[in-house]
Every structure is written in structure tokens, then in C-alpha cells.
């Protein structure tokens, strides 16, 4: 990977970090619900669950973005954390925060499905 390419990925990651850090505030959704109306309460609870799911995905991705930026600094960017293979350039272009090559990512996704834990954010 050239220095220019690496810089482009670094910029993309910094932009993404800013988006994730500033967005998804969702503070209203977490407000304590005081309405006595049951249906209203359920709808608000669903909206809150949805907001929390979004928030959790955003914070997971923020962690991935930060760890990718660390790898840019240490010269490990674009190398699969699991098997050490070079991550495909198209994959990195679509998801610069990807920490695994496509083979290891698919293995991880399958393992997630089998154990019933949430699937990693599609990268
Ligand atoms: Zn791998």
C-alpha cells in the first residue's frame, strides 16, 4: 500500500470517527417516559430499544474505527488481525475499519450466528 493510499484511508477513518462521535445522540429517546397511556408507553419503549440498538452499533463501529486508526499509526493497517493476510483493497475501500480479511470475517459471522450473539456490523 502506498503512502497516498494509506493517507486516504486515514482521512476516511477520521471522517467516520467524527460522524460516529457526533451523531446518534438520541438523547430524547432515553428520556424517562411518564405517559400513563399504555400503547404510548410501548411505542416509546420500542423507539428507545431501537435507539439503543443504533447507539450500540455506532459505538461498536467507533471502536473498530479507532482500532483501525491505531493500525495506521503502527503500520499494521490492511493486515488481517486473525491470520495476517493482506485485506483486499476493495474491501478496505468499502469498509476501511475492517480488521479481518473476508475469510476470517465470514468465519466470525458464522460463529456469531451459531452462538446466537449479535452478528458483527457488516463490513
Ligand atoms: Zn484473515
Banded pLDDT at 10 (limits 50, 70, 90): very high
Instruction: Compute the distance between CA of residue 122 and CA of residue 47 in angstroms, rounded to an integer.
Output: 23
Phi then psi dihedrals of residue 79, to 5 deg: -110, 130
pLDDT of residue 88: 94
C-alpha R_g of the chain: 18
Banded pLDDT at 120 (limits 50, 70, 90): low
Give me ligand 1 centre to Cα 7, in Å.
23
Q: Which domain holds residue 72?
A: 3-115
Instruction: Compute the distance between CA of residue 104 and CA of residue 117 in angstroms, rounded to an integer.
Output: 17
pTM comes to: 0.70
The CATH number of whichever domain residue 96 belongs to comes to 1.20.120.910
Is position 120 within any domain? no
Is position 123 within any domain? no
Give me ligand 1 centre to Cα 65, in Å.
18
In total, how many domains does the chain have? 1
Is position 102 within any domain? yes
Give me ligand 1 centre to Cα 86, in Å.
8
16-68 pLDDT tens trace: 999 998 655 444 444 555 556 787 888 888 888 888 898 898 999 999 999 99
Give me ligand 1 centre to Cα 87, in Å.
8
Amino acid at each position: 500500500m502506498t503512502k497516498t493510499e494509506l493517507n486516504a484511508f486515514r482521512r476516511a477513518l477520521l471522517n467516520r470517527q467524527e460522524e460516529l462521535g457526533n451523531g446518534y445522540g438520541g438523547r430524547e429517546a432515553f428520556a424517562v417516559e411518564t405517559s400513563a397511556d399504555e400503547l404510548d408507553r410501548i411505542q416509546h419503549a420500542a423507539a428507545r430499544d431501537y435507539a439503543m440498538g443504533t447507539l450500540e452499533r455506532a459505538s461498536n463501529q467507533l471502536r473498530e474505527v479507532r482500532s483501525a486508526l491505531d493500525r495506521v499509526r503502527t503500520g499494521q493497517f490492511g493486515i488481517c488481525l486473525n491470520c495476517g493476510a493482506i485485506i483486499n483493497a476493495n474491501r478496505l475501500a468499502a469498509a476501511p475499519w475492517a480488521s479481518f480479511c473476508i475469510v476470517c470475517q465470514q468465519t466470525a459471522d458464522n460463529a456469531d450466528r451459531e452462538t446466537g450473539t449479535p452478528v458483527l456490523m457488516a463490513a
